Chain A
Amino acid sequence: MTAAVVRAWQGVRWYLREFTGEARWDRYLEHCAQHGHEPMTRREFERRRADALEANPISRCC
């Protein structure tokens, strides 16, 4: 029972982090570790991600 609740909570958390793009940072760190790069700071990373949205507007329908 508790295990199921924990799993459900983890699922929701995973979904929300993926949905909002928060998980991208973890993946970036993973990627850097794999390839031996020095990662940029989180501030710099998020700034680039936000600025990339500038030219790719999110369309919202009626």
Chain B
Amino acid sequence: MSGTVITGSSASGHSPAPPGRRLKPRSVAIWGLVAVVGAVCWTVLALARGETVSALWVLFAALCSYAIAYRFYARFITFRVLRVDDRRATPAERLDNGVDFDVTDRRVLFGHHFAAIAGAGPLVGPVLAAQMGYLPGTIWIVVGVIFAGAVQDLTVLFFSMRRNGKSLGQMVREEIGVVGGVAALIAVFAIMIIILAVLALIVVNALAESPWGVFSIALTIPIALFMGVYLRRLRPGRVLEATGIGVALLLLAIVGGGWIEDTGLGDALTLSREWLVLALVVYGFVASVLPVWLLLTPRDYLSTFMKIGVIALLAVSLVIARPVLQAEAVTDFAREGTGPVFAGSLFPFVFITIACGALSGFHALIASGTTPKMVAKESQVRLIGYGGMLMESFVAISALIAACVIDQGLYFAMNSPAGATGGTAESAATWLGGLGFDTTAQTLAGAAAAVQEDTLISRTGGAPTLAVGISQIFSDAFGGGGQAFWYHFAIMFEALFILTAVDAGTRVGRFMLQDTIGNVWKKFGDLSWRPGTIIASAVVVGLWGSVLYIGVTDPLGGVNQLFPLFGIANQLLAAIALTLVTVLLIKHGRLRYAWVSGIPLAWDLVVTMTASYQKVFSSDPRVGYFEQRQVYADARDAGEVLAPATDRSEMDQVVFNSTLNGVLQALFAVLVLVVVVNAVVVIARAIRAGQLPTTEEPPTPSRLVEPAGFWPTPEEKEALAEHQRLVGAGAGRSEAEEK
């Protein structure tokens, strides 16, 4: 039956069934136990009201759910829906060039992929969403990742792998159409600019008026330069050595920040938000034009090791410290939509605020392109794509817990814009009293003193809140106080990898721009042409820099205004990715499984379109950008000044910003709708025809033998040994390790 099918063996029905279909009694017992533990945890979370709830219930509810989803649902998708076929050679095996196409051990690639997808997003979103209580966030992070986020990552990785690692934009153009492709390209670029600006905004908010933070972060640049030179000139290739030295220097830089804080140097490093914007823009530009070995690569080693280290440490200390949740399960803000952290009701805004960790469209850019070119065996996409995203979701759950275990008065004082809190401990305490919190000015001031910051009031953006939560958990778990050290340690860790995302993102944006313009002006597409590099870098940095500046100076609070735009943009990208996957499933003749990506797509479209509609058309000025514009413009024209603006120029600013945000919001939504409409046309044709040809590469027999999961099964060990005997030594790379 397979000979005439154009789409290759994936549609031809001879792919192997999942191994070991019947569960052994032992497996039944183990998985039954996991299910029971998970169910108990969820029940406790659902029923507990008004009593103290340990954070471990949240943690274990999530872990049990992940385990079951990975074991059953991910396996179903991998083998039944996608029909991975280990007899086919992957692009890494076929096109191996040791550079981008490179057969990589699955466990190593899992690490690379996780380091690439997980950044500040899963740490920040859940912190902001905590204003609705711990329950909505927990449910969305867990359910969202299982049925949407991890599904997207897995399926995009698979389809890109079957197409030699083509990028998302390329696949949309070739599989959906030119119109959709162009819309997707513009959307990807615009969304990237917004994401970079919001990430940079978080760093600015964390470092403003904090000499300790500025000192340690600034030192990461010379440390990275030193590592770069070390690896290039002194001891080429000794990455572990250089990273060891780098991490040691980094810790020293954090400790050193405490020493300089009250000195003249400390005063010099007490920078305003505007100065920090300038510093970041200059840094982003320089990092984008410098050779990567000097700054980008060594920084990336540092931030990756810090990231994995801190996440592991956080997981361990949560279990040791067993903190109690201070937040309510569901707050009044969730019901009324009047929260000070971000405006809008639970639906759709919890699902927008928590993007990374539940469903993040940005991952589709990494799951297509870099990672698929390194996969050794098709069946490993389950571990790398689905498993990697589960890990990120776990990070998001940990961040949510960290935000929910601190004093909730402090939480709101930190995360509400200065226009609301008044900016001082006294005014914030009064304002909190109005919300029904009995947190005193002394408590607020004491919390700031404990982490050696001048103030924690209106330190929005999520990073400082997370740092307070982490410092509390770490000093509880390990004893010995040290809250100030742990706070700055956490700030450093977040800032470090946000900056890595910013400089890597600027570079990627620069390449996209050079590539796109290169289509009409050939010279510009030449990556080695200096003027092109400089112009493209300047354009990208200029774009995110201006959005960043707008956010930083926004009288209504940049995070409050821009974070919804960021979340919606990210989820709209996910809509493009899920649309592509759905089209491909149907084109491959797998209509009966199209629900696997179709249901999350439908949900994502409902959420993003509702949110976009509200942000554009809502008559509540806190939610709708254009209504906000109208209210402020009318007041301005009548010669009035509306709080939190304090003068006429701030009124102008609000009017300008809300117009810009509204236009961007509408543009993103329209671009995505263009892709979706184009896709519907293709789907209709595919359904009529039964299936349509795609750009999938024809199958080539594989000669590699590699296990699918993290740990090889007994059968896989046997197959490896057999392969070793037949081919002799030198055939595999990691087999020796597997014994």
What are 28 contact pairs spanning A and B, CB under 8 A? A11-B737, A14-B737, A18-B734, A19-B111, A20-B239, A20-B243, A22-B240, A45-B236, A52-B99, A53-B292, A53-B297, A56-B100, A56-B370, A57-B292, A57-B296, A58-B296, A58-B300, A58-B370, A58-B504, A59-B365, A59-B504, A60-B116, A60-B497, A61-B118, A61-B363, A61-B366, A62-B119, A62-B501
Interface residues as binary, B359-392 with A (CB distance below 8 Å gives 1, 0 otherwise)? 0101101100110000000000000000000000
Residues of A within 8 A of B236 (CB): 42-43, 45-47
Complex alpha-carbon distance, A46 and B298, angstroms? 14
Interface residues as binary, B188-219 with A (CB distance below 8 Å gives 1, 0 otherwise)? 00000001000100000000000000000000
**Contact residues, A1-51 vs B (CB, 8 A):** 11, 14-22, 24-25, 27, 30, 34, 42-43, 45-47, 49-51
Contact B370 A20 (CB under 8 A): no
Contact A55 B527 (CB under 8 A): yes
| Min CB gap A11→B, angstroms | 7
Name the residue in B237, B240, B296, B370 with the highest tally of chain A Cβ atoms < 10 Å from its Cβ: B237
Name the residue in A27, A45, A47 with the highest tally of chain B Cβ atoms < 10 Å from its Cβ: A47
Residues of A within 8 A of B500 (CB): 60
Contact B105 A18 (CB under 8 A): yes
B511 lies within 8 A of chain A by Cβ: yes
| Min CB gap A5→B, angstroms | 17
B436 lies within 8 A of chain A by Cβ: no
Contact A59 B116 (CB under 8 A): yes
Given A27-B733, A54-B291, A62-B120, also A17-B240 (CB < 8 A): yes
Residues of B within 8 A of A45 (CB): 236-237
Residues of A within 8 A of B (CB): 11, 14-22, 24-25, 27, 30, 34, 42-43, 45-47, 49-62
B140 lies within 8 A of chain A by Cβ: no
| Min CB gap B579→A, angstroms | 20
**Contact residues, B73-126 vs A (CB, 8 A):** 98-100, 105, 107-108, 111-112, 116-121
Residues of A within 8 A of B112 (CB): 19
Given A34-B730, A59-B369, also A54-B119 (CB < 8 A): no
Residues of B within 8 A of A24 (CB): 98
Residues of B within 8 A of A53 (CB): 292-293, 297
Residue of A nearest to B506 (CB): A57
Given A50-B232, A56-B100, also A62-B239 (CB < 8 A): no
Residues of B within 8 A of A16 (CB): 240
B interface: dominant SS: helix
Which of A14, A17, A30 makes the CB contact (< 8 A) with B730? Answer: A30
Complex alpha-carbon distance, A16 and B112, angstroms? 11
| Min CB gap A8→B, angstroms | 13
Q: A21-B239, A62-B195, A62-B199 are in contact. List 9 more A-B contacts (CB 8 A).
A: A14-B737, A17-B240, A22-B238, A24-B98, A56-B370, A57-B296, A58-B300, A59-B365, A62-B119
Which of B231, B237, B363, B504 makes the CB contact (< 8 A) with A57? Answer: B504
Tell me the count of chain B residues lying within 8 A, CB to CB, of chain A.
53
| Min CB gap B391→A, angstroms | 13
Interface residues as binary, B289-326 with A (CB distance below 8 Å gives 1, 0 otherwise)? 00111001100110000000000000000000000000
Residue of B nearest to A11 (CB): B737
Residue of A nearest to B243 (CB): A20
Contact B292 A46 (CB under 8 A): no
Given A42-B236, A46-B237, A62-B570, also A20-B301 (CB < 8 A): yes
Residues of B within 8 A of A (CB): 98-100, 105, 107-108, 111-112, 116-121, 195, 199, 231-232, 236-240, 243, 291-293, 296-297, 300-301, 356, 360, 362-363, 365-366, 369-370, 497, 500-501, 504-505, 507-508, 511, 527, 570, 730, 733-734, 737
Contact B527 A61 (CB under 8 A): no
| Min CB gap B188→A, angstroms | 12
Complex alpha-carbon distance, A53 and B232, angstroms? 14
| Min CB gap A41→B, angstroms | 9
Contact A58 B116 (CB under 8 A): yes
Residues of A within 8 A of B570 (CB): 62
| Min CB gap A25→B, angstroms | 6
Given A61-B117, A61-B501, also A54-B108 (CB < 8 A): no
Which of A14, A25, A51, A61 makes the CB contact (< 8 A) with B360? Answer: A61
Residues of A within 8 A of B291 (CB): 51, 54
| Min CB gap A10→B, angstroms | 9
Residue of B nearest to A43 (CB): B236
Residues of A within 8 A of B239 (CB): 20-22
| Min CB gap A1→B, angstroms | 20
Complex alpha-carbon distance, A50 and B300, angstroms? 13
Residue of A nearest to B202 (CB): A62
Name the residue in A16, A59, A61 with the highest tally of chain B Cβ atoms < 10 Å from its Cβ: A61
Contact B119 A57 (CB under 8 A): no
Complex alpha-carbon distance, A56 and B116, angstroms? 14
Residues of B within 8 A of A25 (CB): 237
Residue of B nearest to A50 (CB): B293
| Min CB gap B401→A, angstroms | 20
Contact B292 A61 (CB under 8 A): no
| Min CB gap B574→A, angstroms | 12
Residues of A within 8 A of B100 (CB): 56
Contact B362 A61 (CB under 8 A): yes
Complex alpha-carbon distance, A43 and B234, angstroms? 9
Complex alpha-carbon distance, A13 and B527, angstroms? 36
Complex alpha-carbon distance, A16 and B107, angstroms? 11
Complex alpha-carbon distance, A17 and B244, angstroms? 13
Contact A50 B231 (CB under 8 A): yes
Complex alpha-carbon distance, A54 and B369, angstroms? 16
| Min CB gap B112→A, angstroms | 7
Residues of A within 8 A of B107 (CB): 15
Complex alpha-carbon distance, A14 and B238, angstroms? 14
Contact B360 A62 (CB under 8 A): yes
Residues of B within 8 A of A15 (CB): 107-108, 111
Residues of A within 8 A of B737 (CB): 11, 14
Which of A11, A19, A34 makes the CB contact (< 8 A) with B108? Answer: A19
Complex alpha-carbon distance, A55 and B231, angstroms? 19
Residue of A nearest to B504 (CB): A60
Complex alpha-carbon distance, A50 and B356, angstroms? 30
Residues of B within 8 A of A14 (CB): 737
Residues of B within 8 A of A49 (CB): 237
